[in-house]
Amino acid sequence: MKKILVILVGLFLISICLMNGCTENNTLNTIEKDIDADGYNDAVDAFPTDSTEWADADGDGMGDNSDAFPDDANETRDTDGDFVGDNADAFPTDPTESHDTDGDGVGDNTDYYPEDPTRWEQPSADSFLQTAQPFLNKLALDDSEVRSYAYTIITGCDASSTECFVNALYREILVNYTCITAPMNITTLQTPQQTIQRKQGTCEDLSILLCSLLTNIGLSSYLVFTDTHVYTTVSNVDPDQLWIIAEQSLIRLVEYRFNESLQQSFYLTQTLNVTEALTALDDKNKTFDGLIEYLTIDYSFQSDFPIHFFVLPHGNINNFTPIPEYTQLNVTSGAGTIPHLYTYGGVVLFNGGNQITTVTLDITFSFQPLFYKTYSRDLLSVYTMDGQEAILLDPTLDDFGFPGYDAEIIGEKIAIDPLTHNYVTIT
């Protein structure tokens, strides 16, 4: 009976314990854990070790209490408090701006042209500024690509010669770019980079490029508006020094294309048998071909015995048609100048006697470039702007134009500073 009683009592105690769920293991497991003591069971606490957080509704790793956008997994902060998340906010520290549609760095709320990256300022009530603004917008006044290109052009100039810089940049435009004749049109304007790539543009495009090149190397350059076109000025230049540099570059261009020096001197001594001739002629029958206006010949000669002296208007000795007024027969010496030959001629010393003779000839050929007929220092116009001498640059001239020549630009000229937008009428 004692054994049965003990067993029964034991079963009874075990039953009570099971009914109350109080085995040793279950007692430990059923205590609710809350490590950070924030009142949320660790099992449901998204941040069990952070007493300030327990939920993360959008699953972005940022607790809802700290998350400015608890229901948006793409955003967590709003630094400027404008209700646009920092990730989507183009201006995360500016509460007045959040979007920049055209990507020009000016917020849409401030940008008067939010879909045009080339302009953003408030339109001016000034009618001239309204006209000028599209052209000013195309300028590249501080651009590494344009600056690098400008420095490659002025390589070889003395570092202190503003006049050399101006002439080199201007001649680059005249010689290496095609000017497209077209009315002034703001819808087709090119940026300097586009013009450089295409090597062509309207007068306005070339002026915008030239103004940008000059400004990028530190020179003061304005755009100049007339009724028909836009041009460029450059300030702080010495007109006389500019003409000297421009003239030399034009002479080099003529010599390059003519393939001869513009001044050639020869001193010749030769023994002439009977019926032999000493000739100083161009044997290529070369023409002046729009490069040379005329030829001047200075000469002197001596001979032991009488000879004949002739001037030919060409280089073909087989077509012996001398210019009568310069013919000298049976002379032993002579000297003079043959001015204004409009063809490439020369001289002939002919031994028409009956004795061998020795002759000497000192002769100089001087070719007058055709560009002097149109361009000269007297035609280089100088303006005063901001207390400095300035000259105008016309990119529509031909290869032999020069900086400061503006005889073909008529009407009112208004020059505008691309930086300050101040403008003045120049005369």
* CATH 2.60.120.680, the chain: domain bounds: 263-369
* 3-state class (DSSP) for residue 166: helix
User: Is residue 397 within 8 Å of residue 174, measured between CB atoms?
Assistant: yes
For residue 392, pLDDT beyond 60: yes
Measured in whole angstroms, the distance separating CA 122 from the mean position of its chain's CA atoms is 27
In this prediction the pTM is 0.66
User: Residue 125 pLDDT more than 80?
Assistant: no
Position 9 pLDDT exceeds 80: no
The Cα–Cα gap between 389 and 361 comes to 49
- In CATH terms, the fold of domain 263-369 is Jelly Rolls (2.60.120)
Residue scoring higher pLDDT (157 or 4) = 157
Q: Which residue has the higher pLDDT, 147 or 406?
A: 147
pLDDT in tens, 177-215: 999 988 888 888 999 999 999 999 999 999 999 999 999
User: Does residue 128 carry a pLDDT above 70?
Assistant: yes
> Exposed, middle or buried: residue 394 (CB in 10 Å: 0-12, 13-18, 19+)?
buried
Give the separation between CA 290 and CA 269, rounded to whole angstroms. Answer: 34
What's the confidence (pLDDT) of residue 18?
46
Q: What is the mean pLDDT of residues 357-381?
A: 92
Q: What is the rounded distance in angstroms from the CA atom of residue 108 to the CA atom of residue 114?
A: 5
In whole angstroms, how far apart are CA 149 and each of 135, 193, 392? 21, 10, 22
Burial of 197 (0-12, 13-18, 19+ CB in 10 A): exposed
Share of the chain above pLDDT 90, in %: 54
Determine how β-strand 200-202 pairs with β-strand 178-180.
parallel
Q: What does the pLDDT look like over 23-64, one tens digit per residue?
A: 444 444 446 788 878 788 887 777 888 888 878 787 877 787
Q: Which residue did the predictor score with more confidence, 124 or 155?
A: 155
Residues 241 and 157 sit within 8 Å (Cβ to Cβ):
no
Question: Is the pLDDT reported for residue 240 higher than 70?
Answer: yes
Beta-carbon count within 10 A of 53 CB: 20
Q: What is the pLDDT of residue 284?
A: 64
According to the model, what pLDDT value does residue 283 have?
A: 66
Q: Is the pLDDT score of 22 beyond 80?
A: no
Residue-level pLDDT at 3: 46
* pLDDT, position 4: 41
- 424: β partners: 415
For the residues 117-141, what does the mean pLDDT come to?
86
The mean pLDDT value for 395-422 works out to 88
How large is the average pLDDT for residues 246-267?
A: 95
For the ranges 80-84, 303-307, 310-314, the lowest mean pLDDT is seen at 80-84
pLDDT at 14 over 60: no
Coarse DSSP helix, strand, coil percentages of the chain, rounded to the nearest 5 percent? 25, 25, 50
Which residue shows structure tokens 């031994």?
351
350 and 328 Cβ atoms separated by less than 8 Å: no
Other beta carbons within 10 Å of 285 = 12
Higher pLDDT pick, 288 / 121: 288
Q: What is the pLDDT of residue 124?
A: 66
pLDDT of 20 over the 70 cut: no
Q: Which pLDDT score, from 0 to 100, does residue 1 have?
A: 42
Provide the mean pLDDT of the chain: 87
Question: How large is the average pLDDT for residues 376-398?
Answer: 87
Q: Does domain 136-252+381-426 have CATH number 1.10.10?
A: no
Helices (H), 139-261: 144-153, 162-176, 192-198, 203-216, 239-258
Q: How far apart are CA 97 and CA 139, in angstroms?
A: 27
**Chain length of the chain:** 427
Q: CB-based contacts of 403: which residues, under 8 Å, 6+ apart? A: 166, 167, 170, 234, 242, 246, 380, 391, 393
Amino acid at 167: N
How many Cβ atoms are within 10 Å of 130's Cβ, its own excluded? 11
Is the per-residue pLDDT at 21 higher than 70?
no
Residue 157 pLDDT > 90? yes
93's CB contacts (< 8 A; 6+ apart) are 79, 80
The answer for residues whose C-beta is within 8 angstroms of residue 135's C-beta and 6 or more apart is 186, 189, 204, 208, 223, 225, 230
Residue for token pair 């004795």: 355
More confident residue, 385 or 329: 329
DSSP state for residue 281 in the 8-state scheme: -
Q: Identity (one letter) of the amino acid at 147?
A: R
The count of other CB atoms within 10 Å of the CB of residue 211 is 29
Residues of the chain with CATH 3.10.620: 136-252+381-426
Q: Give mean pLDDT, residues 274-294.
A: 87
